[in-house]
Amino acid sequence: MPLPEDLTVADVGKKLAETLRSLSGPRPGIRPGHAKGILLKGVFLPSPQAKALSKAQHFNESSTPVIARFSSSTGNPDIPDSDPRSNPRGLAIRFQLAETPRRLHTDIIDSTPGSNGEEALEFFTALKNGTITEYIKDHPKAAHFVQLPRPFPASFAHQRHFAVNTFKLVAASGKETFVRYRIEPVLGVQELKMLGKAPVQFKLTVQIAKEGDVTSDPLVKWPETRKMMELGTISLVDVLNDNAAQQKYIIFNPIPKVDGVEVSDDQLLQYRAAAYLISGLEHRNA
C-alpha cells in the first residue's frame, strides 16, 4: 500500500495524523481518530439499477462480502459512549472483492472542518493549541462544523451516514456520474447486541450531481432536490472474529481501488487518504 506520490499531500497527511494523535496522547497501536470501534461482517446485495451507474464488480455480481467498522470519535479507545465527545459516530465499509477491496468511509455528520487538507490541518492545530475559539471567528466553514448538532444515536444501526467526498462512477458504456454516498438505516432502532438473531440492514444510496454542481469542495452541498438512487442493501450479520487483531491491521483507505469507481477533483479526498494510510501503517506496525 504505497504512500502518496505528491509530497505536499504526503506531508500534510502526516501532519494531520500527528496532530490528531497529539489530541488524545500517544497510544501505540491505536487509531488517532475514531479509536473506539467494532468490526462486523456481512453481505452487500446490489440493486437492479446499480449496474446502470457503474461497471464495478460489487455492483454487478449477485452479492459481495463486506466488513464494516462502527466507531466513536476521538483517539481515546476507552471513551464512554455517554461522553458527548464520542459524537459524531462513524461507519466504514469494505467490499471484499476478489482482487482489490473497495473501501467506502462515511460519517454521521455531513460536513468537515475544511475544504482541503491544509484547512483541516489548520483546524486541528488550533484545537490542539487551545486557540479554536479565535480560529473559528475568522473561518466560517470551521465554525459551521463546530456548531452542527451531534445528537447521541439510539443505536449505531439507527443512524444515517454520509460520505462527504465526491466520487465518479463509470458505467460499462463509459458514462460518468458524480455522486456522494449515503447509508440509510432500514429497520430503525436496533441494538448491536441483536446481531446473530437478525441482520442490521442499511440501504447504500447516492446523491447524483447535475451539471454545474461543485465536486471539488466537500463543503459545498448539493440541493436536496438532486436525484437519489439506491445501489443496494448492506446486511451486517455478526461480529468479526479476532476483532482486536483485525482492527489493528485493517486500514480503510477511501481512495477507490476498483474499475468503475474513480476519484473526482475533490480537494480533500487525497489528503484524507494520506492521513488514513500513514496513521494506519503506524498502528499496524506498533
Query: CA 53 to CA 261: how far, in whole Å?
Result: 10
CA distance 27 to 9: 24
Domain assignment present for residue 2? The answer is no
Residue 23 lies in a domain: yes
CATH of the domain at 221: 2.40.180.10
Instruction: Please check whether residue 56 is in contact with residue 259, taking contact to mean a CB–CB distance below 8 angstroms.
Output: yes
Q: Identify whether 31 is part of a domain.
A: yes
Nearest to 17 by CA among 263, 258, 255, 251: 251
Q: Cβ distance 56 to 100 under 8 Å?
A: no
Query: Residue 248: which domain range?
Result: 7-285
Q: Are 251 and 78 in contact (CB under 8 A)?
A: no
Q: Decide if 67 is inside a domain.
A: yes
Contact (CB, 8 A) for 46 and 61: yes
Identify whether 58 is part of a domain: yes
- Please tell me the pTM assigned to this model: 0.87
Per residue in 183-214, pLDDT (tens digit) is 988 865 444 454 556 688 999 999 999 999 99
For 231-276, write each residue's pLDDT tens digit: 999 999 999 999 989 988 888 888 888 899 999 999 999 999 999 8
In the chain, how many domains are there? 1
pLDDT digits (tens, 9 = 90+) for 80-112: 777 777 777 788 999 998 766 666 665 445 678
Q: pLDDT (tens digit, 9 = 90+) per residue, 33-85?
A: 888 899 999 999 999 999 999 999 999 999 999 999 988 887 788 887 777 77
- Residues in CB range of 62: below 8 A, 6 or more apart: 45, 46
Confidence at residue 81, expressed as pLDDT on a 0 to 100 scale: 74
Domain for residue 1, yes or no? no
